[in-house]
Amino acid sequence: MSWAVEEWKEGLSARVLQKIHELESQVGKLKKERQQRQFQLESLEAALEKQKQKVENERKEATTLKRENQSLMELCDSLEKAKQKISHDLQVKESQVNIQSGQLSSSRKDIERLEQELKR
């Protein structure tokens, strides 16, 4: 079959045949270069898709972390309010204890005074 392909070259001068050979060689090189560039393009496209997927995953993770952060901030606020309420309640109870302690001390003095009067 290759002889049929080469048949059109019969009768051409050596210089023209040399030029045809050079052109065919150049075509072969260009085909190889095209294949390499096509492979590079496909590799770059695959890498780009991988990066896009990575960015999308990171975007989703960032959104999830923002939601989690917001939830934790709300929880902290809630805990801070509860702490303040408990602290206030504690102060009120300490104040009540101090008042009752004063009343107890006063009652003891009254008892001692009354006991002294009874002894007389």
One digit per residue, pLDDT tens: the chain, 120 residues? Answer: 455 667 888 888 999 999 999 999 999 999 999 999 999 999 999 999 999 999 999 999 999 999 999 999 999 999 999 999 999 999 999 999 999 999 999 999 999 999 999 888
Domain span at residue 92? 12-119
Domain presence at residue 1: no
**Residue 92 covered by a domain:** yes
Domain assignment present for residue 102? The answer is yes
Residue 6, domain member (yes or no): no
- With respect to residue 2, please indicate whether it lies within any of the assigned structural domains: no
Give residue for tokens 């509860």.
82
Domain count, the chain: 1
Alpha helices in the chain (DSSP H): 2-6, 14-119
Tokens matching residue 73 = 């901030």
